[in-house]
Amino acid sequence: MRLGGLMRAAAGLWPLLLGAAALASLPFILAYPRRPAPVGAVRAAAGGRPQDPVELLRQGLRLLESGDGDPLPPIRMGLAGVRGSDDLIRAGFDPAPLHAWIRRRMERETDPAVMAALAELGRQMCRVFPGDPSCQADLARLLRRAGLYWEAGGRFVSAAEGFRGDAAAARRALRDAADSYAAGGFFAQAADVFERLSRQDSADAEALYRRAESLMLAGLWDPDALAAFGEYAARVKPGDPLLPRALLARGVMLSELGRHAEALREFERIVRERGLGIDPRSEEWAEALLRRGRALNEIARDLPEPERPPVLREARQAFQEYLDRYAAAGTVGAGALEAGASVVRIRSDEGEWNAALERLDDLLARLPAGDPPDMREAAMELRFLRGELLSLLGRHEEAAAAFDAACRRHSTEPERLRGLLGRARAMLRLGRTEEARVDLERARAVYESERGRLDRLMAGRGVELWGGELDALAMEAR
């Protein structure tokens, strides 16, 4: 009972104690230095109202003229407080100097933090002056420099729609929009804008080409990009600088889609139709020649045996022409290596093993040191193929040495199984069965550990093909 009475008494005294504590601390609170309030929250001395946004804008312009401080904060807060351009008109504020200053800052600024602040300022300007396309265009250019390509593209489109009375300015804004979308990897959107440009002006062949290119880069190949490149090629005149690129792009896409006969027609237009005015010294002509041989090679694979040899011969001639033009002497590049390796394989298929080996040794001697990444796979293929050609020629001792050297050089690749099996086969032909068995044991270990990768390398048939070869040689070695 006594305890309860004491608690009630304390509760009654508590407000008095709090009031006394507050009075005692008041001198310290008044004396403590306060943090200055933000500019937007400053109160006018007379009426105690928040400072007028237009006054903040004027303050920013005064700072701009005097150079006594950074005009950006008051301008930013002033614009944020303005509801629309009517507020400025009623206050008699001329926005032209403000707009000019923002444009100059946007054009020369490189600091990312300041560019972000200017971008927000530009967004406020677009809100306050929604009918002024120059605000949208100025902001879009800044956004593009800052790498904000999606928003930049949209702002340029808005600017183009605002330039209704100036067709040239509207087209510039649309082209900037398309370029911004493309720079950011938004190729489908870029294609849409380029289509608008080409519809507005049928003579704008570059817009038509860029639309086709954007569709291709967006992965919209069939029928969109193919049709667009075809339309471009049909519209332009011979000698147009982008015509070889258009034909080559169509051929590459058709090849990737497995439509090799159609692809071949595009490549042959480049290398055979002199009336198109395509320079044989151009990169497009060289690539078309290489891809022509590749397309013929692919077509030959699907032909029945009686029809295959003449198509393979034509493919070999195309590859040989590429070598004669672009790899007559010196170190070979990736294209020449592919062409040379193709000649070697076709010669081998034709039973011309000595000619194939001679060409192969010439290629290996002219490879750049260290096998560059874009040539590594083809170089490895040639080294193992050399052992196989020597085996076909009955030069088994040399074949075993070639396979051994290839295995050592490519000791971490699953393709070393090919070298181990080739060396085992050469040992069996030399009557060195025990050495062949050692190679087969090593091959079996590689086969078991690399089954997945081998299968992927052989389009799902690696286990079947290499496993069958391994079993056949194991039976022969017993």
- For residue 37, the model assigns a pLDDT of 34
- For residue 400, the model assigns a pLDDT of 95
pLDDT at 32 over 70: no
Mean pLDDT of 165-192: 96
- Burial of 355: CB neighbours in 10 Å, binned 0-12, 13-18, 19+: middle
- For residue 65, the model assigns a pLDDT of 84
Mean pLDDT of 395-422: 92
- For residue 1, the model assigns a pLDDT of 38
pLDDT at 412 over 80: yes
Lowest-confidence segment of 101-110, 141-150, 420-429 by average pLDDT:
101-110
- For residue 164, the model assigns a pLDDT of 84
- For residue 101, the model assigns a pLDDT of 86
- For residue 459, the model assigns a pLDDT of 56
Percentage of the chain surpassing pLDDT 90?
53
Residue in 342, 353, 434, 363 with CA at minimum distance from that of residue 387? 353
Is residue 11 very low, low, confident or very high in pLDDT (cuts 50, 70, 90)? very low
Is residue 307 very low, low, confident or very high in pLDDT (cuts 50, 70, 90)? very high
- For residue 462, the model assigns a pLDDT of 52
Lowest-confidence segment of 5-19, 70-84, 170-184, 396-410 by average pLDDT:
5-19
CA dist., res. 339 & res. 352, Å (int): 17
pLDDT at 3 over 60: no
Q: Which residue has the tokens 């807060």?
A: 77
Q: Which residue has the higher pLDDT, 450 or 258?
A: 258
Mean pLDDT of 374-386: 92
- For residue 39, the model assigns a pLDDT of 35
Q: Mean pLDDT, the chain, as a whole number?
A: 84
pLDDT at 45 over 60: no
Is residue 455 very low, low, confident or very high in pLDDT (cuts 50, 70, 90)? low
Is residue 14 very low, low, confident or very high in pLDDT (cuts 50, 70, 90)? very low
342: number of Cβ within 10 Å = 24
Coil, strand or helix: which one is 46? Answer: coil
Mean pLDDT of 209-228: 96
Letter string b/e over residues 288-320, b meaning 16 or more CB atoms within 10 A of that residue's CB: bbbbbbbbbbbbbeeeeeeeeeebbebbbebbb
Length of the chain: 478
User: Mean pLDDT highest for which of 93-97, 114-118, 286-290, 461-465?
Assistant: 286-290
User: What's the distance, CA 220 to chain centroid?
Assistant: 15
The 8-class DSSP code of residue 220 comes to -
Mean pLDDT of 427-444: 92
Mean pLDDT of 269-277: 86
Q: Are 94 and 109 in contact (CB under 8 A)?
A: no
- For residue 10, the model assigns a pLDDT of 39
CA dist., res. 179 & res. 438, Å (int): 62
Structural tokens at position 22: 């507050």
Mean pLDDT of 216-236: 94
Mean pLDDT of 343-348: 94
User: Mean pLDDT highest for which of 62-71, 129-138, 444-453?
Assistant: 129-138
CA dihedral 97, 102, 103, 106 (to 10 degrees): 160
Structural tokens at position 314: 């034509």
pLDDT in tens, 65-106: 888 888 888 888 888 888 888 888 888 888 888 888 888 888
